[in-house]
Structure 1
Amino acid sequence: MGSRQPVTDAVAEITGLEPVSVHGLSTSVWEVELADGDLVVAKLTDGAAAEAAGLAWLAESGTVPVPGVRGHDDRWLVIEQVEPGDASPAAAEQFGRGLAALHASGADAFGFAPPGAPDSGWIGLAAMDYASEPSWPRWYAEHRIAPYLSRATALNGSEKAVIEQVCERIEELAGPEEPPARLHGDLWSGNVHWAADGRVWLIDPAAHGGHRETDLAMLHLFGCPHLDQVLLGYLAKSPLADGWQRRIPLHQLFPLLVHVELFGRTYAHQAVTAARRALEL
Structure 2
Amino acid sequence: MRDLARHAADLLGVPLAEARPMAGGDLSQCVRLRLGDGREAVAKTGPAPQEEARMLAAIAATGAPAPAVLAVDEMVLVLECLPDTGSGPGTDADLGRVVARLHAAEGERYGWHADYAFGPVAIENAWGDDWPAFWGSRRLLCHAGHLPIPLVRRIERLADDLGNRLPKRPRPALLHGDLWSGNVLYGGDRVSGLIDPACYHGHAEVDLAMLSLFGRPGPGFRAAYGAPEPGAAERAPIYKLWPALVHWRLFGDGYRGMVEGFLETAGV
TM-score by length of 1: 0.88
5+ residue gaps, structure 2, are none
Q: Structure 1 residues 73 and 104 mapped into 2: Cα distance closer, same or farther (>3 Å)?
A: same
Match of 2:172 in 1: 180
Question: CA-to-partner distance for each residue in 1:38-84, whole Å, 9 max, x for gaps?
Answer: 1111112222122111101111111x200001111112111011121
Q: Structure 1 residues 179 and 261 mapped into 2: Cα distance closer, same or farther (>3 Å)?
A: same
Name which of structure 1's ranges 188-197 and 263-272 shifts more when overlaid on structure 2: 188-197
Question: CA-to-partner distance for each residue in 1:72-110, whole Å, 9 max, x for gaps?
Answer: 111211101112113124222022022112111112211
Match of 2:108 in 1: 108
1:149 aligns with 2:116: no
> What are the equivalent positions in structure 2 for 1:110-259 lying under 5 Å apart?
110-113=110-113, 119-123=114-118, 126-150=121-145, 152=146, 155-175=147-167, 177-196=169-188, 198-224=190-216, 226-235=217-226, 239-259=227-247
Contact kept, 8 Å, 2:91 with 2:189, in 1: the verdict is: no
Contact kept, 8 Å, 1:183 with 1:207, in 2: the verdict is: yes
Give SS of 2:42's match: strand
Q: Structure 1 residues 175 and 108 mapped into 2: Cα distance closer, same or farther (>3 Å)?
A: closer
Match of 2:83 in 1: 83
Q: CA RMSD in A?
A: 1.8
Give SS of 2:17's match: strand
Give SS of 1:21's match: strand
Contact kept, 8 Å, 2:71 with 2:78, in 1: the verdict is: yes
How many angstroms apart in 2 are the aligned matches of 1:125 and 1:222? 22
Query: Deviation at 1:197?
Result: 7.0
Match of 1:116 in 2: none
How many angstroms apart in 2 are the aligned matches of 1:166 and 1:247? 12
Q: Which amino acid aligns with 2:215?
A: G
Contact kept, 8 Å, 2:94 with 2:190, in 1: the verdict is: no
Q: Structure 1 residues 176 and 243 mapped into 2: Cα distance closer, same or farther (>3 Å)?
A: farther
1:260 aligns with 2:255: no
Q: Structure 1 residues 188 and 149 mapped into 2: Cα distance closer, same or farther (>3 Å)?
A: farther
5+ residue gaps, structure 1, are 114-118
1:14 aligns with 2:11: yes
Contact kept, 8 Å, 2:56 with 2:67, in 1: the verdict is: yes
Query: Deviation at 1:248?
Result: 0.9
Query: Deviation at 1:200?
Result: 4.3
Q: 4+ residue runs of structure 1 moved beyond 4 angstroms?
A: none
Query: Percent identity between the aligned chains?
Result: 31
Match of 2:266 in 1: 278
Give SS of 1:245's match: helix
